[in-house]
């Protein structure tokens, strides 16, 4: 019997409860498996009734029982297909959202490139900021987006810029400075002490340079404004 594959091969970016979408997909997958299992059990029951009829051990009520089981098999099959459709719609919506976010990030980065060409840029951020960004990148490459699901496309692009020591425009420095509003989520929570790469707040903080990167950006913005 054909089994439905669990859709877990797409990127969930930080935003409106990405984990809940993932959990919904998993929940629907369980329902589909349950429906298929019910169908299998009913088919086995039909075979038992057929065997009893062959051996002359069938009861008068077995004919009606078979009709009822056939109806239940059909119902289980319909339930499985409806749930599959719902699951596929959920996955497609998530993919569309991810594609839109990626396109938005692409436009923002292109805009930043034009700004960098036209004005003064900065790359004197501390080595620790580079290491923080690289740590997040390494985790993402090692554990994949299923476990390291923090950060937006723009955030990860920023991490790669910092890790490579690239020049940053004043606008980008300003964004890093503004990220200070997330400092309250910058520490590893108790539940993720053993798996810090799963802590969204902590990973997002590293992506933008961590304490050293954000502190540098705050001071640099003061200099730029002065």
**Mean pLDDT, residues 36-41:** 76
Do 217 and 170 touch, CB atoms closer than 8 A?
no
- Please, what is the end-to-end C-alpha distance for the chain in angstroms? 70
Secondary structure percentages of the chain, helix, strand, coil, to 5 = 75, 0, 25
154-168 confidence digits (pLDDT tens): 889 899 999 999 999
91-120 confidence digits (pLDDT tens): 677 666 666 676 777 677 666 665 555 567
| Tokens read off for 1 | 């019997």
Average confidence score pLDDT of the chain: 78
Instruction: Find the length of the chain.
Output: 226
d(CA 166, CA 21): 35
Note the pLDDT of residue 2. 38
The pTM of this model reads 0.53
Q: How confident is the model at residue 187 (pLDDT cuts 50, 70, 90)?
A: very high
Note the pLDDT of residue 181. 94
d(CA 9, CA 180): 32
Residue 207 pLDDT exceeds 60: yes
Q: Report residue 48: phi and psi, to 5°.
A: -65, -40
d(CA 31, CA 38): 11
Do 21 and 87 touch, CB atoms closer than 8 A?
no
Residue 8 pLDDT exceeds 80: no
Count CB-CB contacts under 10 A for residue 87: 21
d(CA 157, CA 109): 8
Do 170 and 119 touch, CB atoms closer than 8 A?
yes
Count CB-CB contacts under 10 A for residue 80: 22
Q: How confident is the model at residue 169 (pLDDT cuts 50, 70, 90)?
A: confident
Do 220 and 173 touch, CB atoms closer than 8 A?
yes
Do 177 and 214 touch, CB atoms closer than 8 A?
yes
């Amino acid at each position: 019997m054909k089994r439905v594959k669990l859709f877990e091969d797409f990127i969930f970016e930080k935003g409106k409860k990405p984990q809940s979408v993932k959990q919904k997909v998993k929940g629907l997958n369980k329902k589909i498996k349950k429906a298929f299992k019910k169908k299998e059990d009913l088919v086995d029951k039909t075979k038992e009734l057929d065997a009893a009829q062959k051996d002359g051990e069938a009861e008068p009520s077995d004919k009606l029982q078979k009709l009822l089981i056939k109806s239940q098999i059909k119902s289980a099959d319909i339930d499985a297909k409806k749930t599959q459709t719902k699951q596929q719609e959920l996955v497609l919506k998530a993919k569309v959202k991810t594609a839109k976010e990626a396109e938005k990030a692409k436009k923002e980065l292109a805009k930043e490139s034009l700004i960098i060409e036209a004005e003064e840029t900065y790359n004197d951020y501390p080595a620790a900021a580079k290491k923080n960004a690289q740590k997040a990148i390494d985790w993402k490459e090692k554990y994949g987006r299923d476990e390291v699901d923090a950060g937006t496309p723009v955030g990860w692009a920023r991490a790669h810029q910092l890790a490579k020591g690239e020049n940053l425009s004043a606008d980008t420095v300003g964004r890093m400075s503004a990220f200070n509003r997330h400092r309250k989520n910058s520490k590893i929570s108790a539940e993720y002490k053993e798996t810090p790469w799963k802590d969204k707040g902590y990973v997002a903080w590293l992506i933008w340079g961590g304490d050293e990167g954000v502190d540098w950006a705050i001071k640099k913005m003061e200099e730029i404004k002065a």
